[in-house]
Amino acid sequence: MSKRFTQVKEQLLKERQNLLQDVSNSYEACREIGQDGVPDIGDMSSAAYSRDILFNVSETQRQRINDIDVALTQIEKGEYGVCMSCGEDISPRRMEVRPFSRYCIECKTDIEKFGE
């Protein structure tokens, strides 16, 4: 594995660990909402809204973890930086900004427009 891929792998593993910690913290915060006594209707509404926000953030974080896992697998297979749709190299700039990109800009745009 090249030095560049080793650095990318370390960066992805660190980001993955940070995301897992964030998800864990969000889960704990969600569990604690509304557990501070006898809630009134306003407290219950606020708690439900807060739980929904935390759940959605956690879902986004879980998707990012999945994207990182795919990138780590691609590194191991020697396919990192190759678009999973068209097979062309993903621009180095895109991979620098978003190291877990699965698609080149053109394919990602098409996917967002028309779905996978």
pLDDT tens digit string along 54-63?
666 677 888 8
Cite the beta strand spans of 30-114 per DSSP E: none
User: What integer pLDDT is reported at residue 70 of this predicted model?
Assistant: 94
Given a contact cutoff of 8 angstroms between Cβ atoms, the answer to whether 79 and 90 are in contact is no
Q: Which CATH number fits domain 1-80: 2.170.120.12, 3.40.1010.10, 1.20.120.910, 3.50.50.60?
A: 1.20.120.910
Q: Higher confidence at residue 104 or residue 27?
A: 104
Q: Is the pTM of this model over 0.95?
A: no
Round to whole Å and give the CA distance between 35 and 95.
Answer: 43
| Residue ranges of domains in the chain | 1-80, 81-116
